[in-house]
């Protein structure tokens, strides 16, 4: 009975650890989150032609390939001291990475959900406008 209790406890601990690792990995906390990087002040409504977003490399820098703004279940990285406007209703962002820069700010004008913010010690000023 005691052995079964220990085995059950170990299985639970392994599951919890695996789940936490997956969550951290998906949030970008264990590396660069997949998504886009800002190269100018930008908005979630930006299309590729706006030229405010690039695809991101594994090293966390812009790869010079223009991209649209982050879509649902994607992450984005601040590529400089930019202001980003969250202007798409119901947008779901998995992670925001500000670890490599001092961002200008995040202006939330529509309902937005964010999974995590990777700060690296930097602050992300947030403004919410109704």
| Predicted pLDDT of residue 121 | 95
Kindly report the backbone phi and psi dihedral angles of residue 111, in degrees, each rounded to the nearest multiple of 5, phi listed first: -55, 120
Domain chopping of the chain, boundaries: 31-128
Low-confidence residues of the chain: pLDDT under 50: 13-28, 30
Check residue 18 and give its pLDDT. Answer: 37
Spatial CB neighbours of 65, under 8 Å, sequence gap ≥ 6: 54, 55
Q: How high is the pLDDT of residue 62?
A: 84
The pLDDT of residue 66: 95
Cβ-based neighbour number of residue 43 at 10 Å = 18
What pLDDT score was predicted for residue 114? Answer: 95
């Amino acid at each position: 009975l005691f052995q079964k209790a220990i085995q059950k406890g170990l299985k639970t601990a392994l599951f919890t650890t695996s789940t936490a690792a997956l969550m951290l990995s998906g949030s970008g906390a264990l590396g660069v989150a997949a998504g886009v990087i800002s190269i100018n002040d930008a908005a979630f409504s930006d299309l590729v032609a706006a030229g405010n977003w690039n695809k991101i490399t594994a090293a966390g820098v812009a790869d010079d390939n223009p991209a649209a703004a982050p879509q649902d279940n994607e992450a984005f990285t601040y590529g400089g001291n930019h202001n980003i406007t969250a202007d798409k209703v119901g947008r779901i962002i998995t992670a925001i990475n500000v670890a490599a820069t001092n961002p200008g700010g995040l202006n939330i004008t529509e309902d937005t959900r964010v999974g995590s913010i990777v700060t690296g010690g930097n602050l992300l000023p947030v403004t919410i406008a109704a």
